[in-house]
Amino acid sequence: MLLLLLPFVPLVVICYCFRRCFCCCGKNDYTGRHVMITGGSSGIGLALAKLFVRRGANVTIVARNKEKLIAAKSELNECQTKSEQAVYAVSVDLSQGVEAINAAVAQPISEIGQVDVLINNAGTASCGRFLDVDEKDFLRQMEINYLSSVYTTRSILPSMMQRRQGQVAFVSSMAGQVGLYGYSAYTPSKYALRGLAECVQMEVKPRNIKVSVVFPPDTDTPGFANENIAKPEATKRLSGSAGLFTSEQVAENIFTGLERNRYNIWVGLDGFFLSTLTCGMGPSKSFFESFPQVMLGGFLRFVALCYVSMFNSTVYQCEREENRL
C-alpha cells in the first residue's frame, strides 16, 4: 500500500506548502479591536485570548465558572502590552438564549465598544457507546456545543451587519469532520457547526463579514482529561492516532488562520488531509486554498478508505478484547 502512495508524495508536499505559506497573505491588525471568546476561561480559549491580548486587542472572555474566569482574567492582565487595553470576564450560561447573553455582555460592549471578532469556542465532550449514553447527554451537548454558538452569534452579529464589518469563528473539531466510535453524542453537535458556518458565511459575505470554521485535534486541556475518564478503549485508540496537541499549539494555528481570513482552519498534517477531503461545498477564499482541494481530492478519498479499514480493524480488536463479540 505504501508503494501505491509514493507517486503522490511530491504533490502532497507542494499542496501542503501552498496552503501553509501562500494562502491569504494579508493579515488583520487586531490592535484596539474588541475580541470576544466564549469558553475563554481555560484551554484553547484562554490560550487564544492571551495571543489577542499580546497583539493589542481588548478581550472579553465568556464562560460559566466564575472562579476560573477570575483566574483567567488575572493571567490575561499580565499579557497586556498597553495600559489602555481592557480585559473583561463575563459569567453566563450561553445555552439560556440571546437575551441572557445580551444582558451579560452589555457592560463590556458599552465600555469597549461593539464586538469586532467573535470566537465561538465554548464546548464540552463526553464519550460513550450510542446505547450507553444517557439520552439527556445528547441534548446537553447539542445545547452547549451548537446552540450556544447560535445564540451568541445572534447576539453579536446584528451590530456587525450594521457596521458592515466583523469576523466570526465557529470552533468545531476533527470529530466534526468524521464520525468515530464513541462520539455519537459529541460528533453530531460539532457537525452542526459546519453547516451553520456555511449558511452564515453566505448570508454575511455581502456585508464584508468574515466567517471561519475551526477543526482542532485532541488537545491537552482540562476538558480533554475529563473526557478521557469514560472514553471507550476503541475511541482512545482511534482519536489518539492524530496525536495530542497543546492548547498553545492549537491557539497559534487558529490565530494565524483568523489573521489571514481563512475559512477552513486546521491543525497539523492530519488536519490538513481531513479538511481538504471534507471541504465539500464549503467556500474557498483564494486559489491557494482551492488548489490542494482540487488536486488532492481523489487521492485523499483513497487514503480515507484505508483509514476507515484500519479503524474498523481497531474496533473489532477492542470488541474482542472486551468480550463484546
Q: What is the pLDDT along the chain (325 residues), one digit of tens a residue?
A: 334 444 555 555 555 555 555 454 568 999 999 999 999 999 999 999 999 999 999 999 999 999 999 999 999 999 999 889 999 999 999 999 999 999 999 999 999 999 999 999 999 998 999 999 999 999 999 999 999 999 999 999 999 999 999 999 999 999 999 999 999 999 999 999 999 999 999 999 999 999 999 999 999 888 888 788 889 999 988 887 778 899 999 999 999 999 999 999 999 989 999 999 999 888 987 787 888 888 888 888 998 999 999 999 999 999 999 888 7
For position 2, what pLDDT does the model report?
38
For position 323, what pLDDT does the model report?
85
Residue pair 261/24 in contact by the 8 Å Cβ criterion = yes
Give, as one character, the DSSP assignment of residue 183: B
d(Cα 85, Cα 34) in Å, to the nearest integer?
A: 10
* Domain assignment present for 12: no
* Domain assignment present for 205: yes
* Domain assignment present for 1: no
**Is 189 one of the catalytic residues?**
no
For position 224, what pLDDT does the model report?
83
Q: Considering 88, 146, 186, 191, which one is annotated as catalytic?
A: 186
Q: Which residue segment(s) compose the domain that 263 sits in?
A: 26-295
**Is 210 one of the catalytic residues?**
no
Domain count, the chain: 1
Output the domain CATH number for residue 224. 3.40.50.720
For position 243, what pLDDT does the model report?
80
Name 205's Cβ contacts closer than 8 Å, sequence gap at least 6: 211, 283
Name 89's Cβ contacts closer than 8 Å, sequence gap at least 6: 40, 41, 60, 61, 63, 69, 70, 72, 73
* Domain assignment present for 7: no
| DSSP reduced 3-state for 182 | coil
Q: Considering 50, 68, 190, 210, which one is annotated as catalytic?
A: 190
* Domain assignment present for 16: no
Task: Provide the whole-model pTM.
Answer: 0.91
Q: Considering 42, 95, 155, 172, which one is annotated as catalytic?
A: 172
Name 170's Cβ contacts closer than 8 Å, sequence gap at least 6: 120, 149, 193, 194, 196, 197, 211, 212, 213, 214
* Domain assignment present for 278: yes
Bridge partners of 61, per DSSP, are 37, 89
* Domain assignment present for 45: yes
**Is 83 one of the catalytic residues?**
no
* Domain assignment present for 313: no
